[in-house]
């Protein structure tokens, strides 16, 4: 089942949802992947310098990690070929001075924001969606 590609419809119906918990990004050498954190990882990406894991903060003990992040999922089923969705929400978050690290899954876009900015980021994304509903 493919997702939607109409940018206005996607933005109008994206309903951002803040996940429970705090997450971190950690990088480990590819030859030294620890088994325990791998079981807890919600994301995994292999880079030339090592493997990046996205995992709950409490599963990252002993690893070099990023600052704490919160996860916001856009609950609209967006196509991987949708044009402009990432740019639209990234622009809105940029305007509010909030950094965003985006991971696209098959069904949804997932945005990791600094823990201290999570509620404000959620408000910015909801406002963006509401604005699109009003103009649609």
Tokens of 82: 């949708």
* Structure confidence by residue, pLDDT tens digits, 67-116: 999 999 999 898 888 889 999 999 999 999 999 999 999 899 999 999 99
Q: Model-level pTM?
A: 0.86
How far CA 27 is from CA of 2, 57, 72, 91, 117, in Å, comes to: 32, 13, 22, 27, 23
Higher pLDDT, 40 or 36: 40
Confidence of residue 35 (pLDDT cuts 50, 70, 90): low
Instruction: For the beta carbon of residue 112, count every other beta carbon within 10 angstroms.
Output: 24
């Amino acid at each position: 089942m493919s997702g939607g590609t109409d940018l206005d419809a996607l933005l109008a119906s994206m309903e951002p949802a803040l996940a429970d918990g705090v997450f971190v990004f950690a990088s480990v050498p590819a030859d030294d992947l620890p088994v325990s954190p791998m079981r807890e990882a919600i994301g995994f990406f292999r880079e030339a310098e090592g493997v990046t894991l996205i995992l709950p903060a409490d599963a990252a003990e002993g690893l070099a990690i990023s600052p704490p992040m919160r996860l916001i999922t856009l609950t609209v089923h967006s196509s991987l070929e949708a044009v402009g969705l990432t740019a639209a929400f990234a622009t809105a978050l940029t305007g509010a001075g909030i950094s965003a690290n985006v991971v696209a899954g098959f069904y949804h876009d997932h945005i990791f924001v600094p823990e201290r900015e999570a509620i404000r980021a959620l408000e910015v994304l909801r406002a963006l969606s509401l604005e699109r509903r009003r103009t649609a």
